[in-house]
Amino acid sequence: MSEHGHPKAVYFLSTVRLWERFSYYGVRAIFVLFLTDISSFNFSDELANNLYAWFIGLVYLTPLIGGYIADRYWGNVRTAIWGSWITVAGTVALAFSATSYSTLTLTIFYISVFLMVLGGGITNPCTTSLVGDFYEPNDPRCDGGFTIFYMGINIGAFLSPIICGWLGERVSWSWGFGSAAIGMLISTLILVLGRKKYLGDRGMCANVPKINVGSSCVPKDDKPLTKEEKQKIAVIFIMAFFTIFFWAAYEQAGSSLTLFAERSTNRMIPFINWVMPASWFQSMNPLFIFLLAPLFSNLWIYLADRKREPSTPAKFVWALVFIAAGFVLMVAAVFFERIYGPVSILWLTGAYFLHTIAELCISPVGLSLVTKLSPVKFASMLMAIWIGSSFFSNLVSGIFAGSYSSMEHGRFFMIPVIVTMASAALLFVIIRPLKRWMHGVH
């Protein structure tokens, strides 16, 4: 392998994650549209957005369960496999719940959401932690490796709104959710059939087993944390705090931005007289990720070789600035909508482009940060806590989106601008002490 090459396992895990995210984002793309459809359960905008908030929020809280099980009992691989099968059951139940609308199918719908939340949460930290296992500490390829992993995620996220969204909006909701179930099944089978070839013994046992089994298993470690380790853990918690503001704004994609696409955007494509499904706008972000991720992966290595790479906190500041810029475009779009009516798709396209740049500065970089700073015995748990911080952001995001119909839209989109810019300013102020703690400097 060349100095700048990446392990095959990273590409394998990226494929597993691709299909798992295909399932998740496929469900997410049509979730609110399905619930508010007068021919289905006909929920109000507020109720649908609040339920959406709890769904995507809890998906990021349950990784605490998966991280604990992986670190203490089963290891990452076994835990991920069980979580995957639970998610398969959940998506199948969701597809069935959309075949008719009654008290029984509504009950099945809630059960399916519970299973997807549990299964997705268990799987999430395990596959992510495994990526970091294939890089040595301070390996400059690590950020690039997680960007490749993130690109796999977003290929799935790009395809799912197109396939699941089109089937859901144009054929039937059950077909849309059913295609998401097929994607989850593919992910699970790839993981089960390819784990021995690509992962070997890595992730097959817990980080604190009673006995040492296999070269990758870590003996029980009861030593107290050092001061440097505590500082590094503190950095993880501080950075997780700032991600809450980022994701609370970003996750408007599945709620208020989707409603803006459906109700305030001219989706007629010129010359072919075809109306673009509203759910397809959610494919813009992963499409831009797919196009830009290789550039960012190489950019970090290029800058690192020349000792000019921004620190992780600095990358987070830029992420917050770019997410704010995207919502500035939405404020302008609302202004033009008031004057001229439904606006061009270019407004949402521009917003998603800026949000993609922001995402590439924070999400894969943040995952890499956790793997670099976490003590081995708490690796999966700290990854779960990192992912779990998104529970608060997604919950806030969905509850905030519930006010979209009742609040003036320009004012609505200005709120994320103010919050994220204030967060960027605060993080900029504390960059220096964070950098010292990250490198164990007193």
At residue 39 the predicted structure's pLDDT band, cuts being 50, 70 and 90, is confident
Q: Could you tell me which residues are beta bridge partners of residue 265? A: 343
Residue 185 has pLDDT above 60, yes or no: yes
Q: What is the CATH number of the domain that holds 100?
A: 1.20.1250.20
In a domain, 195, yes or no: yes
**Residue 102's domain spans which residues?**
8-438
The pLDDT value given to residue 68: 81
Residue 108 has pLDDT above 80, yes or no: yes
216 vs 7: which has the higher pLDDT? 7
Residue 339 has pLDDT above 70, yes or no: yes
In a domain, 1, yes or no: no
Q: What are the pLDDT digits (tens) for 255-286?
A: 889 889 999 999 998 878 888 998 889 889 88
SS3 content of the chain, % helix, strand, coil (to 5): 80, 0, 20
The pLDDT value given to residue 155: 87
Q: Are 277 and 424 in contact (CB under 8 A)?
A: no
Phi and psi at residue 39, in whole multiples of 5°?
-90, 0
In a domain, 433, yes or no: yes
In a domain, 2, yes or no: no
At residue 440 the predicted structure's pLDDT band, cuts being 50, 70 and 90, is low
Q: What are the pLDDT digits (tens) for 278-312?
A: 888 988 988 898 788 778 878 877 888 888 888 88
Q: What are the pLDDT digits (tens) for 146-179?
A: 778 877 887 898 899 899 999 998 899 999 999 9
In a domain, 275, yes or no: yes
* Range with lowest mean pLDDT among 89-93, 314-318, 389-393: 389-393
Q: In angstroms, rounded to a whole number, what is the distance separating the alpha carbons of residues 232 and 373?
A: 6
Q: What are the pLDDT digits (tens) for 201-218?
A: 765 656 544 433 333 444
Q: In angstroms, rounded to a whole number, what is the distance separating the alpha carbons of residues 92 and 72?
A: 30
Mean pLDDT score, 17-39: 89
Domain count, the chain: 1
The pLDDT value given to residue 215: 38
Mean pLDDT score, 54-62: 83
The pLDDT value given to residue 211: 37
The pTM assigned to this predicted structure is 0.76
Listing DSSP states for 142-198 in one string gives: HHHHHHHHHHHHHHHHHHHHHHHHHIIIII-HHHHHHHHHHHHHHHHHHHHHHHHHH
Q: In angstroms, rounded to a whole number, what is the distance separating the alpha carbons of residues 257 and 32?
A: 11
* Range with lowest mean pLDDT among 10-14, 298-302, 353-357: 298-302
In a domain, 408, yes or no: yes
The pLDDT value given to residue 210: 42
In a domain, 3, yes or no: no
In a domain, 149, yes or no: yes
